[in-house]
Amino acid sequence: MRISVIGCGYLGAVHAATLASMGHRVVGIDVDAAKVEQLGRGAAPFFEPGLDELLRDGIATGRLSFSTEFADAARAQLHFLCVGTPQSKTSDGADLSHLVAATEALLPHLAARAAVVGKSTVPVGTVDMLSGLLSPRPDVLLGWNPEFLRQGTAVKDSLVPDRLVYGVPEDGAPGDGLPEGPVPDGGSATTSATNTSATITTTTKAGAAITAALDAVYEPLLAAGIPRLVCNFATAELIKSASNAYLATKLSFINAMAELCDATGADVKQLGAAMGFDPRIGSRYLHAGLGFGGGCLPKDIRSLRVQAAGLGVNSVDQWMAVVDSINQDQRSRTVGLARELCGGQLGGRRVTVLGAAFKPDTDDIRDSPALAVALQLASAGAHVTVTDPAAINNAWLRYPQLRFEPSTSVALEGAELVLLLTEWDEYASLQPAVAGALVRRRTLLDARNAVDAAVWEAEGWTVRGLGRGRATGPRGAAGHQLVPATPATAEGTRQHAGR
């Protein structure tokens, strides 16, 4: 099928490349000329394992191209909207201006009976709003197909997703005005609902047509048995928001338990592992630490809050507020622990931060917990050096006030405190003896609970994690906590009493 992908960022570029790998002819459209130029050369404009190869293959076969011109999407039978829906600059809600702009720019170029399918994460009601924008073209199909890929594993997640969700028009809903005629790519107008028992059979003509079109797009995935659920627009919009809200809830739950572990001497790693053996709970997203960041979870739970509050659903509003607040607290708790490990005074201390990306295997620094902590340490007067295997350029462009160093070894030189804030493999597997020879004081705040503290302590390090009980230090040694330059602050004492 001829397909366009509008918006070629972390989601769209991967989506375009994987669709081309499935045999479709794909044109990616983006307003960012530099990004388009890079993608057109088969080079990913961001760090995503496996993407470069997929782009190169797609371009070499002639099936994949990129452009800044919406007119180049005119031959596509199906258009995927993948533009950003960031947090609004003026509220906690989602900024839908990119979606509106992209839809308006696409409108004059839509072929007869083309399909427009959104993948961006949106608040409930967005599809109805876009349907209004597309009303001059009642022949055009509209659907919503939320995406669940994770950065760092985006290629694999796209090629082997857990499920496919199709939001389609229901009886009488906007977008159900499909006139008589063929549907894109010769898809049948009857819905085949054999792929999953969870499929809701749609009876509307437009619903059947968009389902058939998406079935044609995802044919190899459906053939491999990937579950596919067909539902109305509101359900599709909410499935995505609810999924991210649940993941965020699980993370804030285990991080709240980590605080309880610190207050009681329990160990959150053992606690999470033991809980995870229960299949009703599951072990994933129970890794306690500095908390979640990125371009998705934080803004999506805030958007959900705003939606729920607007609808008078206070339970969800309050729930998300607590999840967000626990997550933010992990950052200030980490700064407080750093202060404590520096003897109550961060001013003038040489601190090395390992990690700038919001998680390993990406260069994305959107709402990065690591950088939020680094900034707080710097504003408290510490001399902070940040290192990261992939995200230094992005971080430096965004926060030129911080000092960045690409080499881990150089970054560690002379450090009085090391903070492990993004658990890249190369940090989790650092040799404590090697690192110990570089630093001034062997004190590690492992805010991702990534290293084996006992191994580090055996090399003379004082190691502190989140939720690992009380501070540990090398056996038989006095430890390496700094003597307070000035008495510990009231804030530090209050925050960390009982740990």
User: Distance from CA of residue 311 to its chain's centroid?
Assistant: 26
User: Distance from CA of residue 115 to its chain's centroid?
Assistant: 27
User: Distance from CA of residue 289 to its chain's centroid?
Assistant: 16
Nearer to ligand UPG, 32 or 157 (CB): 157
467 binds ligand UPG (CB under 6 A): no
CB 84 within 8 A of CB 7: yes
Burial 34-71 (b: 16+ CB within 10 A, else e): ebbebbeebebbbbbebbeebbbebbeeebbbbbeebe
Based on the residue annotation, tell me whether 231 is a catalytic residue of this protein. no
User: Distance from CA of residue 54 to its chain's centroid?
Assistant: 21
Q: Which does 359 bind (CB under 5 to 8 A by kind): ligand UPG, ligand NAD, none?
A: ligand UPG
Using CB under 6 A, pick the residue from 9, 289, 344, 467 that binds ligand UPG.
Answer: 289
CB of 162 to ligand UPG, least distance (A): 9
CB of 36 to ligand NAD, least distance (A): 9
CB 39 within 8 A of CB 64: no
Using CB under 6 A, pick the residue from 119, 228, 287, 333 that binds ligand UPG.
Answer: 287
355 binds ligand NAD (CB under 6 A): no
Residues ≥6 apart with Cβ < 8 Å to 361? 47, 49, 151, 152, 153, 390, 424
Q: Of how many residues is the chain composed?
A: 499
Q: Total number of residues binding ligand UPG (CB under 6 A)?
A: 22
359 binds ligand NAD (CB under 6 A): no
296 binds ligand UPG (CB under 6 A): yes
Q: Which does 244 bind (CB under 5 to 8 A by kind): ligand UPG, ligand NAD, none?
A: ligand UPG
123 binds ligand UPG (CB under 6 A): no
Residue 410 has which token pair?
């150089």
Q: Which does 285 bind (CB under 5 to 8 A by kind): ligand UPG, ligand NAD, none?
A: ligand UPG
CB 354 within 8 A of CB 374: no
Query: CA-CA distance, 292 to 312, in Å (whole number)?
Result: 27
127 binds ligand NAD (CB under 6 A): no
Nearer to ligand UPG, 296 or 346 (CB): 296
Nearer to ligand UPG, 364 or 416 (CB): 364
CB 443 within 8 A of CB 418: yes
Nearer to ligand NAD, 16 or 439 (CB): 16
Using CB under 6 A, pick the residue from 161, 293, 389, 492 that binds ligand UPG.
Answer: 293
Nearer to ligand UPG, 30 or 147 (CB): 147
CB of 72 to ligand NAD, least distance (A): 12
SS (H, E, C) 51-104: HHHHHHHHHHCCCEEEECCHHHHCCCCEEEECCCCCECCCCCCECCHHHHHHHH
231, 261, 296, 342: the catalytic one is: 296
- Binding mask of the shown chain, residues 81 to 120, with x at each position contacting ligand NAD by CB under 6 A: -xxxx------------x--xx--x--------------x
- Binding mask of the shown chain, residues 145 to 184, with x at each position contacting ligand UPG by CB under 6 A: --xxxxx---------------------------------
Nearer to ligand NAD, 166 or 456 (CB): 166
Using CB under 6 A, pick the residue from 2, 5, 9, 424 that binds ligand NAD.
Answer: 9
Nearest residue to ligand NAD, using CB?
9
Residues numbered 342 to 361 that lie near ligand UPG (CB under 6 A) are: 358-359
151 binds ligand NAD (CB under 6 A): yes
Q: How far, in Å, are 8, 106, 224, 282 from residue 160 at the CA level?
A: 20, 29, 9, 20
Residues numbered 192 to 251 that lie near ligand UPG (CB under 6 A) are: 244, 247, 251
31 binds ligand NAD (CB under 6 A): yes
In this structure, what are the phi and psi dihedrals at residue 232, rounded to the nearest 5 degrees?
Answer: -80, 175
303 binds ligand UPG (CB under 6 A): no
In this structure, what are the phi and psi dihedrals at residue 66, rounded to the nearest 5 degrees?
Answer: -135, 150
32 binds ligand NAD (CB under 6 A): yes
* Closest by CA position to 149, among listed 364, 411, 458: 364
- Binding mask of the shown chain, residues 294 to 333, with x at each position contacting ligand NAD by CB under 6 A: -xx-------------------------------------
396 binds ligand UPG (CB under 6 A): no
Nearer to ligand UPG, 232 or 449 (CB): 449
In this structure, what are the phi and psi dihedrals at residue 498, rounded to the nearest 5 degrees?
Answer: 85, 0
Alpha-carbon radius of gyration of the chain:
25
Nearer to ligand UPG, 151 or 481 (CB): 151
User: Which residues are known catalytic residues?
Assistant: 296
Which chain residues interact with ligand UPG by CB under 6 A? 121, 147-151, 244, 247, 251, 285-287, 289, 291-294, 296-297, 300, 358-359
